[in-house]
Each structure stands twice: as structure tokens, then as C-alpha cells.
Structure 1
Amino acid sequence: MAHPLRILIVDDSALMRRLIRTMLEQDPELTVVGEAADGREALIRVAELRPDLITLDVRMPVMDGVETTRQIMAYQPTPILVLTASLSRYDIDITFQMLDSGALDVMEKPALGDNDALERARIALIRKIKLLARVKVVTHLRGRRKLQEAQAVPPPVSPPPSRPSGTFPVVVIGASTGGPRIVQQILAGLPANYGAAVLVVQHIAQGFSAGMVEWMRTRSVLPIKLAQAGETLQIGTVLVAPDRLDMTFETDGRIKLSDHPLLLQRPSIDITMQSVAEIYAAQTTGVLLTGMGRDGAMGMRAIRRAGGYTIAQDEASCTIFGMPKAAIDLGVVEAVLAPEKIIEALINRIAPKWGGSG
């Protein structure tokens, strides 16, 4: 690396800023160029210092993490890693609003106490920063317009009756860095009478999957829930893999959740796609979205070999094009589309559910 990555730390706690600085400065490829104690000060520091990445707190005085993210992404687009100390529903909601406004990813703040845990947190934080600092972010105009988008909460949808395994369409969506916002956009675009079961495998830091589900529910007319072992797929229902657990299926279609200690990435997109393809074959549609690495490429190949359909997100709309590109290079992608076109393809490919109107 020719020049150290320049990091700005934004947190209202002086102790936390000092801890993060100490952790980062142990790596010669990183340098902390500044600190800020609130969002308004952060805007000034970003303009002055032009950092390669910002670690950004959620709750701060003067200007919270959401508005700070909106302003940074509107005027000085910079990779942002959200750091939160709480997994409360309130803080999780703010965190996902920050991701929706242009922040790239989220992690829990390192906690004092256990030295081994602190060292693991340091390694994970540095690895994440080095990945995200190289992402080319784009301007988000929402912060300039300052429009508060009123999101009407849809009425609850009664779950449709379950069907025997292998007799109805299943959509498997896999995503990693930059994925939550795109997954939410896709789910929000599917109609209430959607004629497929939908599975989501999103790489996200441990402890955040339940909050992500709550956040995605605010814009979708489809019921969305965390998958539970033993339940069966239902048409028109979205099931999300819990963090750190792989979602597979028994031959009768019941969900099985497992922990594979040898896998570096859990939940695994490959494992879920392969399991679904084995049972639902040509009824399976695979959608692979933004993310680093190759997870999902082999799963998309399994879907294609089973006669199913495969879609990858296009490079222009990806935060990181790694996962879609791996599947495209493998020759197992039938359509490369922007998110809005993915919605159209999923609707056009799958008829409304039984008993639903067109």
C-alpha cells in the first residue's frame, strides 16, 4: 500500500475515540487523521481532511448519525462504517436508516474487558476498514433535498397456505456489503399477491439480522421474518437467514438451521441456493447482489444446472461488484440487471399466488 489509509473517527465518547485510535494505529497501513465528537463537527472535519473512511457513531449530540450520513453523502461522499454500542430496537433502526442513506456497513463497537475479545474486534475492524475504504461511493441527493420520506406502514398480510415442497416458485436473494438497502428496495417492489416464497441470505455483523428484518418490514407489503428451524416455506412470505447460521432444507421442505465452523462466511449464500435447487429445481430463481468475494457463485451454478433462472446485480449499481462478477465469470448468470429491473424480472417471471388477483 503506497499511502496509509486516512481515517476520521466520529464518536461523542472521548474514551471510545481513544480506544478506536489506539486499535487502528497499531496497523502501519492506517492513520487516524482526525476526530469529531458530534455530527456537525464531523462535517467540518470531512471537508478539511478528506479522509478515506469515516467510523461513525449512531447516537450523538447536535446531529445524529442519520443526518450526519445524509449530509456527508450529499456534499462530501466518503465511505462510512457505522459503529454502534447498542443492539436496541431504537439504535438498530437508526443504524439501518444510516445504511439506507449511504453508509456502507455496520459493526458493534469494541468493548473493554476481555483482552482476547478486544483483539478479535481490532482485527475485524481493521479488516473491514481496509475493505470499505477502497469502495467508490456516490453522491446521495436526499441530504440536499432534506425531504422526509413518509413511509406508510402497510397493513399486515395474512400468510398464504403452505404448499408441498417443490411445487411452487422460490426466489433466493444473496447479498453482502451494500446489500441491505438493495434487498429492501427489491422486497418493497414486490406485490402483496406475489406468487413465490422468498429467501434472503444477507451477510451482516452478528446481532443485526433481527433489526434488519424490522427495518425491511417498514416498506414491504409482504410479511418478512427471521427463518426458524422446522418451518416450511409459504408463498408470498419472506424468510431471512439468521446471522451466523446457514439455512438449508430437508427433503420435505422444512427449514434446517446449522452452524458450519469450517466456513469463513455464515450464513452462506452458496449453501442455501444449492439446498433450494436440489428440492425446487426449475422453480428456483437466484438473485445475487452486491458484495465482496465469491459466495453465491456456486449456488447460482447449482440453480442453473437444476433448470432455474439466475440474475446478478449490474456493476454500476453495486457497492462492490465482487460476488455478482464471480457468478458472471463462471458463466451461470442469465440476466445482469439494475435493482429496479430485477424487481420487474421477478414480477414478470412469477405469476401471482393462488387465489390472488393479477
Structure 2
Amino acid sequence: MTHYEKEPSSGGLEVGRGGPIRVLVVDDSHVMRHVLRLILESDTGIRVVGEARNGQEALEQARLLQPNVITMDVRMPVLDGLATTEQLMAFQPTPILAVTGSLASAEVDIAFRMLAAGALDVVETPELHNQGALDSYRLMLIRRVKLLAGMRVVTHLRGRRSARRSADEPASPQPETVARRLLPAPAEPVTHWSERVGGRSQLEQARTPQRPTRERQVPFPVVVIGSSAGGPRAVQHILNVLPAALPAAIVIAQHIAEGFSAGFADWLNGNSALQVQVAQEQTVLKPGVVVLADDGCDMVVSQDYSVMLRRVSGVSQRPRPSVDLLMESAAEVFGRHTIGVLLSGMGRDGAVGLQRIRQQGGYTLAQNEATCPIYGMPRAAIELGVVDAILTPDAIAQAIRERLGIY
């Protein structure tokens, strides 16, 4: 068993005005709870305040300990990760990191259903017998926990309905789409932002795209979606609202843990009329088909309307897949027939990409602050003055429909 020495906090979002981030570790494996505790407490900015062996214990510990973040196993006795997440998000909204012990489709599907229920991110359990992988996992997990500690969470009513049902009769599982309950905030037009930050020139810049340097006839439009932490639910909702006969191709760059792209695509396929697939080298874009960038590599659109993958080995200083690279390449190929969408996430990835789309005469949308768990990426694009409209995910889907002539 690896033992980590205490290290100074590696930075990031910490909670409690200088106090450590309080974490509750939930897993039915004693060994895994111990490993996660060792990893997390190797950083002085994090303190594991409790452990739980199943979902019922997690609910009790969460009420008692009031953690800032909960790491939540997917499969557990008594109450599994999905049911526990639903209950927590209904009665005690807390940032939840889903932790799956397998990349098998059934378990990954539950993990993404946990995201739909309110969890904010998903990772796999660490490899215990690979020291190099364990060291990399440690850095990743600490960073994720610090990121989640600063994310906003939203109360979900699903858990309250489930609790009422269970008191009366056994619940029958029914698939539910998340966003009709989740995202009630009104659309926020770009004029409101301009008035907030001040400056007539910024409003004019946001409203008036530069003329594209050249015009090109394209066979269909393209929608480019960039998303990071807190964004998968919004992606799912947007696709859910769009029809199968969408007259545009869709490409997505989603920052996600390695190994989860296929599961993400499967989950989206089960919640959308559109066909969703993970990109392969030279996958050809088609109307009504969603192409998802594979995790750990960049994806760009080529002049023949296919995609190219750029795999980079080693540690990268920027997130992958790159939203900027995907958006910039799509803008070069599709010009004014490009719709760019930027969703929740930390950092600035996507701001330059939206800028390029606007320069080519395309249409740009960003998720509004009220519905963003993390507002960093949309905010960066808004401050750059390259967003046509700031909207809820529900309104983004409607704006895409209207832009494509679907009423």
C-alpha cells in the first residue's frame, strides 16, 4: 500500500476562508476508502471528515458532517450511488464526484445517470498496483476535488418525488430527462451583459460580427459545442431537445476523464433522438449525427468535412480535447454556417474559438451564469465580447432550432 507524505496544498478552489476542503468518502470497499483517504489527505488543503459504506450511511454522514465534496461509489449495497445522489440533491445539495470501479457499459451508464441527477463529475477508481498511474491519479483526484468544492449545485426535485413514492408504493423506474426541471432561469440577452460591464463599443462588438475573409458553399451547417466540468447535463439536455432530422452536423469537445468518452456517447444516445458517436480518424460529418471528440486527444474539422484526431502523449498544460482548436477549425471550414456553443467549465478554453466563429460570420451562444456550475469558460468568451446571446441550456437548444429554421 502506498503511503503519501503530507504536501502543501497544490492550489485550486478551497472552501471555508482558508480552512481545508471537507470531504466525505463513500465506497463499500474498505480498501478503496482507505486509499482515497490517503490520496486526498496527502494535500494539506483537503481533510476527509468521514467515510460511509453505502448510500444510507452517506445520507446520515452528510447531514451530520456537512461536507464540501462527496466522492460517491456507483454500486453499493442498501442504497446505490444513483439513489443516494438523487436524495442528496433533493434535500442537501452537495458537489458529488461519482467514482466507478469499472468502465463496463452498465456501470458507466449508472455514473452518467448520476450526472443527470446532479453529480458534477465522474472518475474511475485508481490502479492500486501501478505506482506511476497511482501518482498521476493522485494529482488528478486532488485537482478534481478542489474544482468541485467551488462549484455551485442545484436542488433537484427527483429525489423528493422518489421519497414520496417510496412512502406510498414501490417506485417503478422511469427514465427522466434532467433539464426541464433543472434549468428554469430566464434567458439573459447580451445587452444585459453589456450594461453590466459597461461600454457601448463592447455591445457593438458583440452584435456586429466581422465579415468573413472568404465565402464558401457548404453542404450543411455545423453546431460546435464546447463543455467541461458541470457541462454534461447541459449537453444532454440540448441534444434531447433537437430533432432526429436536424439539418446540421454537431461536433462536441467535452473535457472528461480518460476512458469515459464511449460511455458518455452511449448515455447521450439513450437520451436523444440524434445519433451520437465517438470520433474515429476521418469520421465524415453528416446532418443529424453528433460526433464526440475522444478523451485525451484533440479533434479538428478538415476541409473535406471529416474530422482529424491529434493524440498527444504525456502531461498537457491545457485541457483535452481542445474546444478552441475544434471551434477554430470548424469556423475555417463552415464559415458563417457555424453555430458555436460554450457551456460550463473552468478556464478560458473556447473563448478564442467563439471569437473565430464570430469573425467568420457565425452565430455564438454561451450558457448563462445562473445555470453554470462553473462559469469560467462562458465568462471568458463574454468578457472577450464575442457572444451573441447568453442563455439557459433550454434556450440554447431553442436558439439552435430557430437558427436552423426549425420551428
Q: CA deviation at 1:232?
A: 1.6
TM value normalised by structure 1 = 0.92
Mapped contact 1:165–1:279 kept (Cα < 8 A): no
Task: Indicate whether 1:325 and 2:379 are aligned.
Answer: yes
Aligned length: 342
Counterpart position of 2:332: 278
Matches within 5 A, 1:203-242: 203-242=255-294
Counterpart position of 1:340: 394
Please state whether the residue corresponding to 1:201 is helix, strand or coil.
strand
Q: Quick one: distance in 2 between partners of 1:23 and 1:292?
A: 23
Mapped contact 1:176–1:203 kept (Cα < 8 A): yes
Task: Indicate whether 1:180 and 2:232 are aligned.
Answer: yes
Mapped contact 1:72–1:78 kept (Cα < 8 A): yes
TM value normalised by structure 2 = 0.81
Q: CA deviation at 1:44?
A: 0.3
Q: Quick one: distance in 1 between partners of 2:74 and 2:380?
A: 34
Identity %: 51
Structure 1 unaligned runs (5+)? Answer: 153-163, 353-357
Counterpart position of 1:313: 367
Counterpart position of 1:156: none
Counterpart position of 2:85: 69
Q: Quick one: distance in 2 between partners of 1:99 and 1:298?
A: 28
Please state whether the residue corresponding to 2:25 is helix, strand or coil.
strand
Structure 2 unaligned runs (5+)? Answer: 1-16, 166-172, 178-215
Mapped contact 1:82–1:106 kept (Cα < 8 A): yes
Q: CA deviation at 1:229?
A: 1.2
Q: Deviations over 1:241-285 (max 9, x none)?
A: 111121112222221111245552110000000000001000000
Counterpart position of 1:35: 51
Mapped contact 1:167–1:280 kept (Cα < 8 A): no
Task: Indicate whether 1:251 and 2:308 are aligned.
Answer: no
Task: Indicate whether 1:51 and 2:67 are aligned.
Answer: yes
Q: Residues 298 and 85 (structure 1 numbering): CA distance in 2 closer, same or farther, change over 3 Å?
A: same
Counterpart position of 1:97: 113
Q: For 1:291, which of 345, 364, 383 is the aligned residue?
A: 345
Q: CA deviation at 1:151?
A: 6.0
Counterpart position of 1:18: 34
Mapped contact 1:151–1:218 kept (Cα < 8 A): no
Task: Indicate whether 1:266 and 2:320 are aligned.
Answer: yes
Q: Residues 322 and 332 (structure 1 numbering): CA distance in 2 closer, same or farther, change over 3 Å?
A: same
Amino acid at match of 2:42: Q
Q: Deviations over 1:9-37 (max 9, x none)?
A: 00000001111111111111111111000
Task: Indicate whether 1:149 and 2:174 are aligned.
Answer: yes
Q: Residues 150 and 123 (structure 1 numbering): CA distance in 2 closer, same or farther, change over 3 Å?
A: closer
Q: For 1:83, which of 62, 75, 99 is the aligned residue?
A: 99
Counterpart position of 2:201: none
Q: Quick one: distance in 2 between partners of 1:289 and 1:126?
A: 23
- RMSD over aligned Cα atoms: 1.6
Mapped contact 1:135–1:320 kept (Cα < 8 A): yes
Q: Quick one: distance in 1 between partners of 2:279 and 2:404?
A: 22
Q: Which aligned runs of 4 or more in structure 1 are off by greater than 2 angstroms?
A: 147-152, 164-167, 260-264
Amino acid at match of 2:370: A
Q: Quick one: distance in 2 between partners of 1:83 and 1:240?
A: 22
